Amino acid sequence: MLRTTTQNPTNRINTIILIVVLIGVLIGIRLFFLQVVNYSYYEARAEGQQSFKKILEAKRGNILAKTKTGEEVFLAATRNGYILFLNNKLLQVQEKDWLYDKLNGVTPIDKALFTKAVLKENDPYEILKRRVSQNEADAITALKLRGVGLEPESWRYYPLGMFAAHALGFIAESDKGELEGKYGIEKYYNLKLNGEEGAIVADRDANGLLIALGKQLVTDAEEGENITLTIDPDLQRFVEAETVKVMEKWSAISAGTIIIEPKTGRIRAIVAAPAFDPNEYQKEKNLGVFLNPFTEKIFEMGSVFKPLTIAAALDRGVITPETTYVIEYRCGFCHAKSRRRKAAGIFS
């Protein structure tokens, strides 16, 4: 009995020591994973809480053309304006009734959209309207309306509407939510037009306020390059009108015209009909209208090139309008010749 009694305390002590050691090992393993294996993850989280970063968007380059007098014509440019939004956390119930009339008096607001937006009571950011002009923004700011905010934005604008639409293309959001060129010049020269975005990185305190003497890094955005086309605006406008007339005259589904300087290869006019307005491309139901038939609907030419071949031969003096020719036919067992003893001459 005495022997059993003396062993029980020892067993308990050994058990406690073993448990403490196991707990220590588990804590050590956990610390190893936190401080070594997952070091990068927690460092990024800490940096995210302590640092502020704002992306500086680069201004997209313009697309231009020049008239015969050298005057520049803007075909695609960037406009600046504002997003009008509601912060429902700051709105009082009684203010919602007359707020619509106040805003609608400055810039047209969709009534159904406004009604839906004010119902989301705890939402601090409900967009009411995009592309608000500077004058409209100034007028809204002057009203000093609680819960109404303005945020700067920029968008692509095509001043001449459907003019050279197939050559220009347009920009739209990619799968990643970034704006990029779709079709035409906007797509082909997307990288040049885009430029390089910049950023502001700074330290902030526990309240989210920037620290004046903290680390601050500013990388300026680089504007995109401007691109000047060889298109003659006056000629392009004339050819567009004539192409539409021809298409309507012959009840054609589509038509196209391209004018190229033979010695330089410069495209002076490129027209496809029907056209579209790149400012409102999202309204088009037939997506095939976006394709430029001269670059994206390629097919193998046949007899169309025969007149071009003859024209080149005449231009080089290889043949004349009085030249005769012999055509040989072979069909296995037979052999025949077709001979024109009289030149066709010049057709008028």
Over residues 177-234, the pLDDT tens digits come to 788 999 999 999 999 999 887 777 776 665 555 565 556 677 777 889 999 999 999 9
Count CB atoms within 10 A of the CB of residue 237: 15
DSSP reduced 3-state for 80: strand
| Confidence (pLDDT) at 79 | 92
| Confidence (pLDDT) at 347 | 46
Does residue 88 sit in the same domain as residue 173?
yes
| Confidence (pLDDT) at 214 | 59
Does residue 248 sit in the same domain as residue 207?
no
Q: Is residue 300 part of a domain?
A: no
Distance CA 310, CA 319 (A): 8
Q: Is residue 49 part of a domain?
A: no
| Confidence (pLDDT) at 45 | 64
Does residue 106 sit in the same domain as residue 148?
yes
| Confidence (pLDDT) at 182 | 92
DSSP reduced 3-state for 277: coil
Peptide bond into 9 cis (omega under 30): no
| Confidence (pLDDT) at 91 | 80
Q: What is the CATH number of the domain that holds 175?
A: 3.90.1310.10
User: Hey, what are 23's tokens?
Assistant: 């707990």
Name the pTM for this structure. 0.67
Does residue 335 sit in the same domain as residue 284?
no
Q: Is residue 139 part of a domain?
A: yes
Distance CA 20, CA 44 (A): 33
- Packing angle between helix 95-104 and helix 111-118, nearest 10 degrees? 150
Give residue 23's domain range: 2-37
Q: Is residue 28 part of a domain?
A: yes
Q: Give me the residue label for tokens 């022997």.
A: 3
Does residue 223 sit in the same domain as residue 240?
no
Cα dihedral across residues 286, 291, 292, 296: positive or negative: negative
Distance CA 242, CA 259 (A): 13
In degrees rounded to 5, what are phi and psi of residue 225? Answer: -80, 145
Does residue 209 sit in the same domain as residue 261?
no
Q: Is residue 9 part of a domain?
A: yes
Does residue 79 sit in the same domain as residue 108?
yes
Q: Is residue 275 part of a domain?
A: yes
| Confidence (pLDDT) at 210 | 55
Q: Which residues of the chain have pLDDT under 70?
A: 1-8, 41-53, 93-94, 203-216, 326-348
The total domain count for the chain is 4
Q: Is residue 179 part of a domain?
A: yes
Taking a C-beta distance cutoff of 8 angstroms, is the pair 256, 286 a contact?
no
Radius of gyration of the chain (CA): 36
| Confidence (pLDDT) at 97 | 73
Distance CA 15, CA 11 (A): 6
Does residue 119 sit in the same domain as residue 215?
yes
| Confidence (pLDDT) at 106 | 93
Q: pLDDT of 133-154, one tens digit each?
A: 999 999 999 999 988 999 999 8
Does residue 211 sit in the same domain as residue 65?
yes
Q: Is residue 47 part of a domain?
A: no
| Confidence (pLDDT) at 21 | 82
Does residue 197 sit in the same domain as residue 256?
no
For residue 280, CA distances in Å to 47, 162, 164, 276, 285 come to: 42, 10, 15, 8, 11
Does residue 237 sit in the same domain as residue 261?
yes
The tally of CA atoms less than 13 A away on the side-chain side of residue 47 is: 10
Does residue 87 sit in the same domain as residue 165?
yes
Distance CA 325, CA 344 (A): 10
